Chain A
Amino acid sequence: MTQTRGVFGDALLIARKDLLLERRAKIGLGQVIPFAILVLLLFAFALDPDRGVLKQATPGLFWVTVLFSSVLTLQRSFGLEAEDGILEALRLSGLSPAGIYLGKVTALTIELLLLEAVLVLGVAVLYDTEFLGIPLLLAIAVTATLGISAAGAVYGALAARLRSRETLLPLLLLPLLAPVLIAATRGCEVSLQREAMSGWPWAALLGIFALVYLTLGSFLFRPLLEDA
């Protein structure tokens, strides 16, 4: 007996598999989260003499840390697909490329949101940050993370089979994610300054960025998978 699924069924299958792989290998828990906390600590050491600067720069430092950590998460996620002929097996499987893409974006978004939850605790303790405008902060976190995952999955697939993917991926990805860094930082800044209303356009901008990449990625993933 066979089962039939649509794009979203395929996406769910891939997302569950990726999250299961993370649960088994614990790379996020054992390597990415410690790395992210270490970066926060290093920022704290570097800027500690002037507590005011550290506090003022919290949103920017938080999102820079998220971006660096997302590169590690992406490399792990697509590195796994490049091993042991998995990319060939996925091409043979009959799964829709758009479903594979959306599944990987879903799993990446969940993993990065969990990382951000830990980092929020980190900045609260290390940088003495008081969180205000929670609804806006949540909206910015979700839309920015979705944007990072959506764009990251496109470039992760592009770099997947290249020998130099470890160095190439950050070079390709970080400039592209500069708008996310700027919008997420500005949005968080105004939220932390109790000016939540003026922060929503930044959240909307992040949402548009995510939507554009989700649409592009859904169409581009087939040729990326073929050429990877």
Chain B
Amino acid sequence: MSAIVHLHSAVALIGRFPALAGVDLDVDPGEILLLRGPNGAGKTTLLGVCAGLIGLSSGEAVVLGEDLTSHRRAVRRRVGLLGHDSFLYQDLSVVENLDFWSRAAAATVADGRAALDRLGVASRLFELPVHALSAGQRRRVSFAAMICRRPELWLLDEPHAGLDSAGRDLVDGLMQEAAASGATVMFASHELDRAENVAHRAVTISGGVILPASQPEPASQPEPASQPEP
């Protein structure tokens, strides 16, 4: 079975800082992989590389069969990224955002509405502008905008952040459903108790490299003064 994500000696620079300093990683189809590590370790950069947003300066990267060193853009339509930012227009309403992003991803408006229902976004919030939502509600809408794309690879950066207990359970369930239906999930989290229960496998990233399984996670990551992790 060929890996959905294959990285070998992957180096990515943010400015002149090597946010990834030689990552080796393989992720199998249908796997849920937890990326753990201290702040500034390179988790967000790794997800950005897999999404085709951040280029490699050296090394190999093949994601969903696309060689990212030569065809970085080809993979973007096939992945779903949930980042620290909401990826939503603050002045548009919930449904206006979902309608726009689902159409942009060549999905239908119905896909967007179904995603909102799946995320448990109450219909009374549909017409509210995004800037009027709470952080947790915004997170659910961002998640809905991501899943309506029907991505083959889910890249989630702190997916539980800002959510209440029910929301966190929902996210865990969605990740498990996605994996069961053949999608692959990579997520970064600091909530290790919860995350390790959901993940099939966990790797620790520190200083821009994946640590060997036997090596314990460092307590904190020394960072440069202008740590540029996006």
A residues touching B (Cβ–Cβ < 8 Å)? 1-5, 10, 13, 17, 20-21, 24-25, 80, 83-86, 88-95
How far apart are A1's CB and chain B's nearest CB, in angstroms? 6
**Interface-located stretch among B103-111, B169-177, B217-225:** B103-111
A selection of 25 A-B contacts at a CB cut-off of 8 Å is A1-B108, A2-B106, A2-B107, A3-B108, A13-B103, A13-B104, A17-B92, A21-B91, A24-B92, A24-B93, A24-B129, A25-B91, A83-B90, A84-B85, A84-B88, A84-B89, A85-B84, A86-B85, A90-B104, A91-B73, A92-B77, A92-B81, A93-B76, A94-B104, A94-B105
B107 and A20 contact, CB distance less than 8 A: no
> How many angstroms from the CA of A17 to the CA of B99 in the assembled complex?
10
Contact yes or no, A92 B53, CB < 8 A = yes
Tell me the smallest distance from the CB of A21 to a CB of chain B, in Å: 6
B45, chain A: closest CB distance, angstroms:
13
Which of these, A21, A84, A91, A92, contacts B86 with CB under 8 Å? A84
- The complex places the Cα of A91 from the Cα of B48 at a distance, in Å, of 12
B contacts with A, residue count (CB < 8 A): 30
Contact B85 A85 (CB under 8 A): yes
Q: Would you call B187 an interface residue if the criterion is a C-beta within 8 Å of the partner chain's C-beta atoms?
A: no
B126 at the interface (CB under 8 A from A): no
Chain B residues packing against A (C-beta within 8 Å): 51-53, 73, 76-77, 79, 81, 83-93, 96, 100-101, 103-108, 111, 129
Whether A93 pairs with B108 at a CB distance below 8 angstroms is: no
Question: Does the CB pair A21–B92 fall under 8 Å?
Answer: yes
User: A88 CA to B73 CA in the complex, in Å?
Assistant: 12
Residue numbers in A under 8 Å from B85 (CB-CB): 84-86, 88
**How many Å from the CB of A32 to the closest CB on chain B?**
15
Contact A91 B53 (CB under 8 A): yes
Give the CA-CA distance A20 to B77 in the complex, in Å.
25
A93 lies within 8 A of B83 (CB): no
A206 to B77, CA, bound (A): 38
**A160: shortest Cβ distance to chain B, in Å?**
15
What's the Cα separation between A24 and B86 when bound, in Å? 19
Dominant secondary structure of chain A at its interface with chain B: helix
Name B83's contact: one of A20, A88, A95 (CB within 8 Å): A88
A185 to B101, CA, bound (A): 41
A119 to B83, CA, bound (A): 43
Contact A21 B104 (CB under 8 A): no
Contact A92 B51 (CB under 8 A): yes
Additional A-B contacts beyond A13-B100, A95-B104 (19; CB < 8 A):
A3-B103, A3-B106, A3-B108, A5-B106, A13-B104, A17-B89, A17-B92, A17-B100, A20-B92, A21-B89, A21-B91, A86-B85, A86-B87, A88-B53, A92-B51, A92-B76, A92-B77, A93-B101, A94-B106
The residue in chain B whose Cβ has the minimal distance to the Cβ of A17 is: B100
List chain A residues, Cβ under 8 A from B108: 1-3
Query: Does B87 contact A84, Cβ atoms closer than 8 Å?
Result: yes
Which residue on B lies nearest to A92, using beta carbons? B76
Expressed in whole angstroms, the minimum distance between the Cβ of B215 and any Cβ of chain A is 32
Assess the B86–A85 pair: CB atoms within 8 A. Answer: yes
CA distance A93 to B81 in the complex (A): 10
Q: Which of A2, A20, A83, A89 has the most C-beta atoms of chain B within 10 angstroms of its own C-beta?
A: A89
- Residues of A near B81 (CB, < 8 A) are 88, 92
Kindly list chain A residues whose C-beta atoms are within 8 Å of the C-beta of B83. 85, 88
Q: For A13, list chain B residues within 8 Å (CB).
A: 100, 103-104
Contacts of B103 in A (CB 8 A): 3, 13
Q: Distance in Å from the Cβ of B191 to the closest Cβ of chain A?
A: 22
Give the Cβ gap from B50 to chain A, nearest Cβ, in Å: 12
Q: Which of the residues B73, B101, B106 comes within 8 Å of A89, measured between beta carbons? A: B101
Residues of A within 8 A of B87 (CB): 84-86, 88-89
